[in-house]
Amino acid sequence: MQTVMKSSKLDSPTTQSENIPDNHRNQKLPRTHCIRCGACCIKGGPALHLEDIGILKTKGIKRSDLYTIRKGETVHNNVAGKPSILSEEIIKIKGTGEDYSCIFYGPDEKGCRIYANRPIECRVLKCWDTKDLEAIFEKNRLCRKQLITPDTSLAHIISAHEQRCSYLTLETLINKMREPEAEDAVEKALELLHFDHNLRPLVAQRLELPIEEMDFFFGRPFTTTIKMFGLQVKQDGDAFLLTPIEQKIGGLRYLATN
């Protein structure tokens, strides 16, 4: 089960040999130009940077195409070659399928459907040489504050959600589940999960916003991301049941169950 989110295009290319699709392995290397094979796009969409604001303004990329990976989430960082915890949030293009293949990749046409307006990470990425991408990878990353009008109801709700539903709070509760006050911690964690879960349709309804934009405003739901702690949520009607994922998650923070 995939539990580690890709943090940016840099999570796709790792080594030259890994980046070369099988049907190109016998060609002479190094490659000097992009052949639009889609190998990078299939490995996940890019994180956005200040340079991408223009495409957002012209609606080339809509808010419903985006999601936020919040501070404290575990992502796989291929530069470091290991999972790392995000110290600041990032905004990414959504993915589909188990690989989180970029939503703008068209498998039929085998190419990017917004190629002329693709984000900066995609423009600088050369799968045969990731130096240019590494140079911009951690610079000028966009966050929600730069994209949401301040002092609006929505901005206040996002800020309140961030305070109440931070990953630090969730992790603290999960760690307490191993201690004598486990029952109380489970109850509080479930409350948090419910709050985070229920807030989204409520905000969409009250502020008349598309539900598809909620993962951008509030990050992905805890019910999904709690996997990074080795837990899963089973839903039984309105009730949530928190259970350990049986599969061992190497190298990640997870709740010891014994």
Proportion of the chain in helix, strand, coil states, percent, rounded to 5: 40, 15, 45
| Residue 122 or 242 having the CB closest to ligand SF4 | 122
Rg of the chain's alpha carbons, rounded to an integer?
19
Rank residues 24 and 194 by Cβ distance to ligand SF4 and give the closer one.
24
String of contacts with ligand SF4 for each residue 90-129, x by CB under 6 A: ---x--------x-xx------x-x---xx--x-------
Residues 178-237 touching ligand SF4, rule: CB under 6 A, are none
Q: Which 3 state secondary structure label does DSSP give 105?
A: strand
For residues 211 and 104, give the distance between their C-alpha atoms in angstroms, rounded to a whole number: 19
Q: Residue 117 is which amino acid?
A: N
Beta carbon nearer to ligand SF4, 46 or 72: 46
Judged on CB neighbours under 10 Å (0-12, 13-18, 19+), 16 is: middle
Q: Would you tell me the crossing angle of helices 167-176 and 182-206 to the nearest 10 degrees?
A: 150
Q: Give least dist CB 37 to ligand SF4, A.
A: 11
> Which of 41, 170, 192, 214 contacts ligand SF4 by CB under 6 A?
41
Helices 182-206 & 153-164 angle (0-180, nearest 10): 170
Give least dist CB 249 to ligand SF4, A. 26
For ligand SF4, the binding residue among 13, 45, 72, 230 (CB under 6 A) is 45
Name the residue nearer to ligand SF4 (CB basis): 19 or 232.
19
Under the rule (CB under 6 A), what is the footprint of ligand SF4?
41, 45-46, 93, 102, 104-105, 112, 114, 118-119, 122
